[in-house]
Amino acid sequence: MTSKSDVKKLVEAETERLGFQMELANGKWLIINPNNGRTGEIPLQAMGRGIDNYRTKIRSLLHDHPTKPSPMVAATDPATQKDDSMPRDTWWSVEALLAAAFANGLRPYVSGGNLHTPGPVDAQPYAEMLQARKDEVIRHLTKTPTTEGDTAVPTIGESANVTRNKPRDIAADAEALWGLLREAAREQGDKTLTNGGVVGVQWVGALADIIKATCPDWDDIHEKDVRQYLNRTEHTRCHRPRATPPVWWIALTWNNGDLTVTKTTPKTTAKADPRTVAAAAAKKAPADKPAAPAPAATAPPATAGPALRALIGFEQAIQQAEAERDQAIRERDELKRELEKSRADHADVRVELDEVQAKLDQAQAELTAINAVFARYGAS
């Protein structure tokens, strides 16, 4: 973490160079551009590359607010003059607002019926305007057709039917987060880093911080699912988790790795099939005991003729085939479970190896520093 004095020096230098004003308010530095009235808040301390972000944020105050109309339009076109009570972002059409957002690094998308606006910190004003008009933006992004006479979408209190939001798209959110990390690695110079022989790029930073800054609407469970998806599909790997800030390997290109993420919900069970119950009981039996065979058909009476005996024999053959089929299904499911468990164990071992490697690197660095101190004393 950068000290308060370093942040203060940066703020004083930038505000003096640009002719801005600075004052301490509510535990933050308040920066004011007297020429256009724009203000910005800078925390007293910074994490990772926060100093560079603060410098960029201060410089952004040089420009007018993106929703402010140009002087020529305001002077020549009376139709663009809006009432003071109207939000300033309504001066832009949805298409123009989205174009400006994309130009400033935002990548808005719709997932689970919600609008997500990941992007750099400097584009936060555009993200706020998109969220303020999210209904229009969602309709535009999803190309929902509208008809004449459509009115505003009713709120929950005005509607008798409440529709639950669809589950979040973990794969789409993971791809969007990977894109942000890939862009951040590019800004750091695209330094080459390999992971198990696979060439990628290095990114230095705290993943939790970038998620909090760009995706504040994610809860802890969804963040865990997205990070696990990126890890399982070999798109990210933390090489030095103990470093400050951590060092990450980021894949060069996106590839979902044929991994499917599903969320299951309980279902109402129907009347159980006797064969299914028998199969479950056999599965719970000790491993050294074979599964119970299918019940045999009733023995034919002594007075049965050839046709009845043939029919009963045919029934026995069907029961035997069904028992063999059920046994094969059980064995296949067991193999699938073992394979999934081995894959999960492999992924956990990889994470543990990465942590051990990080500890070894740190210990090696400390040992080198200790040897250097002993060498200086020995030389004297």
- Note the pLDDT of residue 49: 63
Judge whether residue 248 has pLDDT over 90. Answer: yes
Judge whether residue 73 has pLDDT over 50. Answer: no
Which tokens is 372 given?
Answer: 């250097």
Domain layout of the chain by residue ranges: 4-60, 88-145, 181-251, 283-380
- Closest alpha carbon to 141 in 96, 98, 89, 176: 98
pLDDT digit string (tens) for 98-108? 888 888 888 88
Residue with tokens 């101190």: 373
- Note the pLDDT of residue 257: 55
- Note the pLDDT of residue 276: 55
Judge whether residue 39 has pLDDT over 90. Answer: no
Residue with tokens 């019940």: 295
Task: Please state, for a pLDDT cut of 70, what percent of the chain lies above it.
Answer: 71
Whole-model pTM: value is 0.32
Bridge partners of 250, per DSSP, are 201, 236
In terms of pLDDT, which residue wins out, 153 or 336?
A: 336
Per the CB < 8 A criterion, the answer to whether 206 and 196 are in contact is: no
Distance, C-alpha 109 to centroid of its chain: 13
At 202, the pLDDT band (50, 70, 90 cuts) reads very high
Q: How far is CA 116 from CA 99, 131, 183, in A?
A: 16, 8, 18
- Note the pLDDT of residue 129: 87
Can you tell me whether residue 111 is helix, strand or coil?
strand
- Note the pLDDT of residue 249: 93
Classify domain 88-145 at the CATH class level.
mainly alpha
pLDDT digit string (tens) for 131-184? 888 888 998 888 754 444 444 444 444 444 444 444 678 888 888 898 899 999
Q: Tell me: domain 4-60, CATH 3.30.920, correct?
A: yes
pLDDT digit string (tens) for 254-304? 886 555 554 544 444 444 554 554 555 555 544 444 554 555 555 666 666
pLDDT digit string (tens) for 302-318? 666 778 778 888 888 89
- Closest alpha carbon to 91 in 79, 108, 101: 79
